[in-house]
Amino acid sequence: MKNIESKMNEKKFRQVSRRELLKLTPVLALGAFAIPKWQEGLLKKGLGFSDWRRPGFSGQAIWRLPSTMRN
């Protein structure tokens, strides 16, 4: 019986740990910009990603203006 309980506790611990890490992800990402040594590299990688991804977004409806409806 103890083996089953320990497995359940380990599983619950892993789930809680993942949830807590996901909650902290935005704080960690912003905190990374506070380290001067990492700022330039993070900015370059972010700009590189947005430049790479931009052509894929150009054909999507979110970038187009909505059509005008007649009353």
Query: At 63, is the pLDDT very low, low, confident or very high (cuts 50, 70, 90)?
Result: low
* Boundaries of domain holding 19: 1-35
Q: Is residue 26 part of a domain?
A: yes
Q: Is residue 55 part of a domain?
A: no
How many domains does the chain contain in total? 1
Pull the structure tokens for residue 19: 């949830």
Q: Is residue 57 part of a domain?
A: no
Q: Are 33 and 46 in contact (CB under 8 A)?
A: no
The string of pLDDT tens digits covering residues 36-62 is: 898 999 999 988 888 887 766 555 555
Q: Are 25 and 15 in contact (CB under 8 A)?
A: no
Between residues 66 and 11, the one the model is more confident about:
11
Q: Is residue 2 part of a domain?
A: yes
Whole-prediction pTM: 0.44
Q: Is residue 17 part of a domain?
A: yes
Q: Is residue 46 part of a domain?
A: no
